[in-house]
Chains A and B, each alone.
Chain A
Amino acid sequence: DQQVKQNSPSLSVQEGRISILNCDYTNSMFDYFLWYKKYPAEGPTFLISISSIKDKNEDGRFTVFLNKSAKHLSLHIVPSQPGDSAVYFCAARGLFQKLVFGTGTRLLVSP
């Protein structure tokens, strides 16, 4: 039972354009959502988060949007840079601060 889903396993974008990564969840009890960036054989790096009571949070080139009624969140990266190429995981926080991770989306930003 996959409570957090990232339906696109990969995404290719040109440098300077917008990257949009999507995430859907099923559990309405999640109170906090996070995006992490991960390189192979490394731990995830925290990027940005959003509380369930908000619908948008922005930090530099990264913006996360939350649509609670649709149980959907997205990460926008503008402008995309080649260094953004990595696997992006969305995560949702449930009971006892436990994080449930999606399956990840591999982003490739080409020059």
Chain B
Amino acid sequence: GAVVSQHPSRVICKSGTSVKIECRSLDFQATTMFWYRQFPKQSLMLMATSNEGSKATYEQGVEKDKFLINHASLTLSTLTVTSAHPEDSSFYICSAREGVPDTQYFGPGTRLTVL
């Protein structure tokens, strides 16, 4: 199956700093990537949809200035958590959509801890 990688897998940062998370589709081109976050024992919540070469579309309640998304190429999307606060601590997961079959493949996730 298609492979999606994320980097880093874990990051600990101080409050007020910015953190960048990378999502790459390794063996296919993804025109669309999605960013989710998951709180402990809860479901995955879609944060935003990232389309290559255009602005990301954010879900209701997600601050676009706080969670900056860039989808510069067909294999790379980045999520930057700006001025991170402890409440941003969560598990962030990206997915990349492959057209044939039309399925989303998920990365391994990034555990962000903001102190």
B103–A89 touching, CB < 8 Å: no
Cβ of B66 to closest chain A Cβ, rounded Å: 20
A41–B91 touching, CB < 8 Å: yes
> Which residues in window 96-111 of A have CB below 8 A to B?
96-104
Interface string of A36-65 (1 = CB under 8 A from B): 100001111110010000000000000000
Number of interface residues, chain A, beta carbon within 8 A: 20
Q: Chain B interface (Cβ within 8 Å of chain A)?
A: 1, 4, 6, 32, 34, 42-46, 49, 57, 91, 93, 95, 97, 101-109, 111
19 more CB-based (< 8 A) A-B contacts, given A43-B95, A44-B93, A46-B104: A41-B109, A42-B109, A43-B4, A43-B6, A43-B93, A43-B106, A43-B107, A43-B109, A44-B106, A45-B106, A46-B106, A96-B49, A96-B57, A97-B102, A98-B34, A98-B46, A100-B46, A101-B43, A103-B43
For the complex of A and B, list the 9 residue pairs with the smallest distance between their C-beta atoms, beginning with the closest: A43-B106, A101-B43, A101-B44, A44-B106, A103-B43, A43-B108, A43-B109, A43-B107, A43-B93
Could you show 23 A-B contacts with beta carbons less than 8 Å apart?
A41-B91, A41-B111, A42-B108, A43-B4, A43-B107, A43-B108, A44-B106, A46-B104, A46-B105, A49-B101, A49-B103, A89-B43, A96-B49, A97-B97, A97-B102, A97-B104, A98-B34, A98-B46, A98-B49, A99-B46, A102-B43, A103-B43, A104-B43
